[in-house]
Structure formats: C-alpha cells, structure tokens
C-alpha cells in the first residue's frame, strides 16, 4: 500500500524570541522578538545606539555579545527546529545565516577572490574541514566574474586585499558581492547604505533586490527609506532602548525617515528611558 504524506511545506523561518543580550556586563537587548520567513524582506530601524547592530552580532555569534535569555532558531522545511545559539559562528554561516557588517574589517594580504573562494566553498560544503580542497578555480572564477558583471563591480576589485584601503562605498560593495556569492537563506544587512551618496545607495538597493528573491529572507537595518526603494519590506520594525517597540508596513519606514523618532519616544516612554540610560552608559535596573 502506498501512503501519501500530506505534510504542508511552508517557508524556512528565522525565529528570535525574548532575546536578551549583554555587552561587557551591560544589558543592551532587553527581549527582542522577530520572525523572518525565507523570501521576506524586513526593515529594522531605530536611533543610533538602540541595539540594531547588537542584534546582528548576537544572531551571528560574536563572542563579545552574551546571550542571557531567549532563543534564536532556524525552522527548516520539514518543521525541524535548529538551535542557532548552540552553534559556532562558522556553523551559523554554513547553516545559511549571513551578516553584512556595518563596519567591515580589513584583511591585508588576503585578496577578495581568495577570501570569497574560501567562504563559498565552506558554505556550500558544510562538512568541509580546513585544509581540504577548495571549489575548483575555473568554476569559481567564472561564477565570480558573472556576479561582478551583474552587480557592475570592476573586475580589478577581486585582486585587491579585503577592505584594505577601501572607501566606504567599496566596503559596502564588497559586502554585497559576498551576499551574492554566498546566497544565504537569511541575511542581515547592517546599514549597507551608511556613508554612501544617493547614487551609491540606489545601486546598493538595486543590487540587493537582484540577489534576494524567494530563496532568501533579508533583514535590512537602515536609517533611510532609500535602500528599501527596490526592497519593499513586508514589515518595518522599530527598535528603541533595546526592544522592538513597534512594527508596521513600508509606510512606517517612510514616516521614520521623514519625521524621525519623536513620536516613537513619546509613545513608548519606558523604552525611551532605557535609551537614555544606555546613552549615559548606566546599567538600567530592571523593575521586573
Ligand atoms: P545601533 O546599531 O542601533 O546603533 P548598537 O547595537 O551598536 O546600536 O549599540 C547599542 C548599545 O550597545 C550602545 O549603547 C553601545 O554603546 C553598546 N555597545 C554595542 N557594542 C558594544 C561593544 N562591542 N562594546 C561596548 N559597548 C557596545
Ligand atoms: Mg549599528
């Protein structure tokens, strides 16, 4: 007899629940809930110092960011839940999670092409051990060349040392190229627009739209709605004082871009007080 299973396939999900994160003993994130489905674009906005980058680092597993409560899980197509917090950062990358840094590090002596070949090989062969063979050079080169052409990146770029002497704009383009080559399931793009002029932001916005699609969930951290021009968010989330205080649609991003955060601060006085305490570098004493 043939049994037909009718398990419904939904999209993969990245689910963050009640996340509390401390840096150097000071609590920065105070209970963040956020779920992103594969194929969805979400925007995360908020004033400087509200904890947006902290969320990115915590999800990626940066050792300075201590998780004191909450969970980060990947839900796979078969419904299996994977505990992201139990993984090392490289395992998280191999599991399909990617963070484009707000301030990427320079790696003098390592060429962009070699760096990418390593990353791509590791992410595509999650069981690869260091020292084992890399993706064949010819195959890698032709793929890299095609991606660079698609994203209007000068071929010379591949021969330069990673972020060494790069302008702000070049660093962001290097992050976008990484995103295009790695094709993660979930990408967090931390202010990929900061330090760019309007034309460069438009190009970044178009590039991200080309790379994304129904196989990728993207969290775009930004201050400006321009990066969202070609990546209309399903939801916009506002972070203040280490919490997501409000979520809405694309119109919320437009409002914040135009009017700033005064309405938000007035509407959520407790979070505004936490923001003030974080600014002053004081450890907020929780009342609960
Ligand atoms: P945002 O990205 O929203 O501007 P951040 O996550 O960078 O905010 O910072 C939130 C708060 O955490 C700030 O008060 C900042 O000073 C503090 N913080 C973040 N990272 C570190 C760190 N590595 N060392 C010390 N303090 C940090
Ligand atoms: Mg930041």
What do you get for the CA distance between the two ends of the chain, in Å?
Answer: 58
In a domain, residue 286? The reply is: no
36 Cβ below 6 A of ligand 1:
no
In a domain, residue 194? The reply is: yes
Q: Which domain covers residue 75, as residue numbers?
A: 4-280
In a domain, residue 49? The reply is: yes
In a domain, residue 274? The reply is: yes
Q: Which atom of ligand 1 is nearest to the CA of 190?
A: 2
In a domain, residue 287? The reply is: no
In a domain, residue 62? The reply is: yes
Token code pair at residue 185? 């399931």
Q: Region 25-52: what's the mean pLDDT? A: 96
Q: Report residue 52's pLDDT band, with 50, 70 and 90 as the boundaries.
A: very high
Protein residue with its CA nearest to atom 16 in ligand 1? 49
The CATH number linked to 252 is 3.40.50.300
Q: Which residue has the higher pLDDT, 107 or 103?
A: 107
207 Cβ below 6 A of ligand 1:
no
Measure 247 CA to ligand 1 centroid, in angstroms.
22
This prediction has a pTM of 0.92
48 Cβ below 6 A of ligand 1:
yes
- How many domains, in total, are found in the chain? 1
In a domain, residue 187? The reply is: yes
51 Cβ below 6 A of ligand 1:
yes
20 Cβ below 6 A of ligand 1:
no
Cα–Cα distance for residue pair 141/70, rounded to 1 Å: 42
In a domain, residue 155? The reply is: yes
Protein residue with its CA nearest to atom 18 in ligand 1? 23
Cα angle value 234/208/219 (rounded, 5°): 45
Residue 239: strand, helix, or coil: strand
284 pLDDT exceeds 50?
Answer: no
Indicate the length of the chain as a whole number.
288
Measure 275 CA to ligand 2 centroid, in angstroms.
14
Q: Report residue 282's pLDDT band, with 50, 70 and 90 as the boundaries.
A: low
What pLDDT does residue 169 have? 87
Token code pair at residue 180? 């295009």
Q: pLDDT tens digits for 118-150? A: 999 999 988 888 888 999 999 999 999 999 999
Cα–Cα distance for residue pair 218/212, rounded to 1 Å: 8
Q: pLDDT tens digits for 160-200? A: 999 999 988 899 999 999 999 999 999 999 999 888 889 99
58 pLDDT exceeds 90?
Answer: yes
Q: How far is CA 117 from CA 58, 90, 110, 224, in A?
A: 26, 15, 11, 32
């Amino acid at each position: 007899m043939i049994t037909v299973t009718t398990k419904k396939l939904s999209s993969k999900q990245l689910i963050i629940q009640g996340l509390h994160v401390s840096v150097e003993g000071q609590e920065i994130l105070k209970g963040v809930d956020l779920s992103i489905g594969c194929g969805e674009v979400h925007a995360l906005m908020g004033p400087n110092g509200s904890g947006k980058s902290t969320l990115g680092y915590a999800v990626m597993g940066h050792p300075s960011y201590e998780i004191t409560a909450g969970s980060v899980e990947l839900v796979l197509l078969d419904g299996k839940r994977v505990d992201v917090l139990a993984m090392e950062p490289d395992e998280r990358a191999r599991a399909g999670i990617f963070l484009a840094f707000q301030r990427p590090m320079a790696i003098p002596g390592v060429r962009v092409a070699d760096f990418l070949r390593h990353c791509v090989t590791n992410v595509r062969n999650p069981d690869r051990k260091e020292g084992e063979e890399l993706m064949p050079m010819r195959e890698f080169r032709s793929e890299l060349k095609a991606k660079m052409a698609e994203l209007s990146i000068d071929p010379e770029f591949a021969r330069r040392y990673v972020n060494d002497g790069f302008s702000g704009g070049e660093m962001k383009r290097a992050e976008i190229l990484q995103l295009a080559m790695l094709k993660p399931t979930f990408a967090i793009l931390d202010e990929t627009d900061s330090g760019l002029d309007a034309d460069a932001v438009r190009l970044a916005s178009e590039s991200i739209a080309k790379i994304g699609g129904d196989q990728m969930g993207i969290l775009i951290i930004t201050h400006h709605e321009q990066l969202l021009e070609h990546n209309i968010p399903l939801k916009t989330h506002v972070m203040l004082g280490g919490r997501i205080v409000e979520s809405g649609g694309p119109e919320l991003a437009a409002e914040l871009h135009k009017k700033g955060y005064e309405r938000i601060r007035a509407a959520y006085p407790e979070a505004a007080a936490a923001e003030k305490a974080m600014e002053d570098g004081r450890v907020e004493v929780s009342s609960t």
